[in-house]
């Protein structure tokens, strides 16, 4: 035991980052669907524990005298960072699934920035402020992920509801701090300013469509020569030369007159979701992308492997194309690029018919 304590004291400066990363990895390995009750309970527990240990560090909550008081004080930073690592890993994964690369990159950049800032010595001396920043981020993320579930849809109204609830909770917490003996200037600096800053930051990101539409996400998507529904399966046909092993569908579409180009996708939506998304077909003209079609797709949540749907174009011209899936508010969920080339008569591999069976 003494040897363990000696090693801990020697490497104590790495303890908080280590517990943060441990919490992150733990959640990566155990995280399930966003609409699972156990996930909600566990994340809510992490959020509560984070708030409790933030309050202890801030002086708003006093630890009762007893045998565990010294242990709690000694390891409060590690416990807080473990909970925050688990929360941020969960929300990062939810955001990552719900966004195209550019959108998820913004959230990941924010996470990485916080990790780097947390390692600066000048910031470590203001540990309670860093805890406030982390807690505000995870509280906001928790609300943005879970508030859409009872509404059964995503959109600006749902986002404003989550943002309003966050502001009310931040106000209630500030009132709680003011009921303690903490100096009001400290409350303003440590809690009110970070909370208000996060409110305007997320409002800005949403107005410019930089917040991914959690909890919707694209499970899979592809371009095909034909899509045939034979309940409970879809038969997806595509042609592919043997050396294009990295393609999973007709991303290099060999086109002849009369062909239809099909876009098939599986979209994850939680139980109780009934919403509408749009499949947008766009072609690159040499200088910019131009929209060809924007086709609505009604989705119903609850399927374990996602809601299945498809659209198609009857007339298409050779060139560089992409299909994007977006919400009614124009926030992108995912995209797929492909090329259309005239068939030149060379031998193609046999047309492969893939049958996907997804149970409810």
Confidence check: pLDDT of 355 > 50: no
Residue spans of the domains in the chain: they are 2-207, 217-357
- pLDDT at position 338 is 93
CA-wise closest residue to 309 among 208, 236, 247, 245: 236
What is the pTM (predicted TM-score) of this model?
0.81
* 1-56 pLDDT, tens digit each: 555 556 555 555 555 566 656 656 666 566 777 888 888 998 999 999 999 999 99
Return the CATH fold of 217-357: Immunoglobulin-like (2.60.40)
307 to each of 184, 221, 234, 297, 324, how far by Cα in Å? 51, 12, 12, 10, 16
C-beta atoms surrounding 228 within 10 Å: 14
* Mean pLDDT on 306-330: 90
CB 216 within 8 A of CB 327: yes
Cα radius of gyration (the chain): 25
Report in angstroms the alpha-carbon separations of 163 from 81, 169, 341: 25, 10, 47
Q: 13: which 2 tokens?
A: 């400066």
- Per residue in 218-259, pLDDT tens? 888 889 988 888 777 888 888 766 666 667 788 888 888 888
């Amino acid at each position: 035991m003494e040897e363990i304590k000696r090693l801990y004291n020697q490497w104590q400066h790495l303890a908080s980052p280590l517990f943060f990363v441990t919490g992150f990895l733990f959640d990566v390995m155990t995280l399930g669907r966003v609409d699972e009750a156990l996930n909600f309970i566990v994340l809510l527990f992490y959020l509560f524990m984070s708030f409790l240990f933030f309050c202890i560090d801030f002086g708003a909550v006093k630890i009762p005298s007893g045998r565990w008081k010294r242990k709690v004080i000694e390891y409060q930073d590690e416990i807080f960072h473990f909970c925050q690592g688990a929360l941020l890993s969960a929300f990062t994964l939810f955001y990552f699934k719900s966004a195209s690369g550019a959108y998820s990159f913004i959230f990941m950049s924010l996470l990485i920035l916080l990790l780097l800032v947390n390692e600066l010595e000048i910031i470590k001396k203001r540990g309670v402020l860093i805890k406030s920043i982390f807690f505000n981020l995870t509280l906001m993320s928790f609300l943005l992920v879970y508030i859409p579930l009872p509404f059964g849809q995503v959109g600006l109204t749902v986002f404003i509801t989550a943002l309003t609830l966050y502001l009310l909770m931040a106000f209630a917490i500030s009132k709680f701090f003011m009921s303690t003996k903490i100096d009001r200037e400290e409350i303003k600096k440590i809690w009110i300013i970070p909370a208000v800053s996060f409110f305007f930051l997320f409002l800005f990101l949403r107005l410019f469509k930089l917040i991914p539409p959690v909890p919707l996400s694209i499970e899979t998507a592809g371009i095909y020569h034909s899509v045939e529904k034979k309940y409970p399966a879809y038969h997806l046909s595509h042609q592919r030369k043997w050396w294009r092993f990295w393609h999973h569908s007709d991303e290099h579409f060999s086109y002849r007159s009369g062909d239809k180009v099909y876009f098939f996708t599986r979209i994850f939506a939680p139980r109780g979701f009934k919403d509408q998304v749009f499949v947008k077909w766009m072609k690159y003209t040499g200088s910019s992308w131009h929209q060809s079609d924007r086709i609505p797709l009604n989705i119903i949540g609850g399927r374990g492997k996602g809601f299945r749907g498809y659209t198609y174009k009857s007339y298409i011209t050779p060139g560089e194309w992409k299909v994007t899936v977006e919400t009614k508010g124009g926030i992108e969920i995912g995209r797929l690029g492909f090329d259309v080339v005239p068939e030149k008569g060379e031998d193609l591999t046999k047309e492969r018919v893939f049958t996907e069976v997804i149970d409810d």
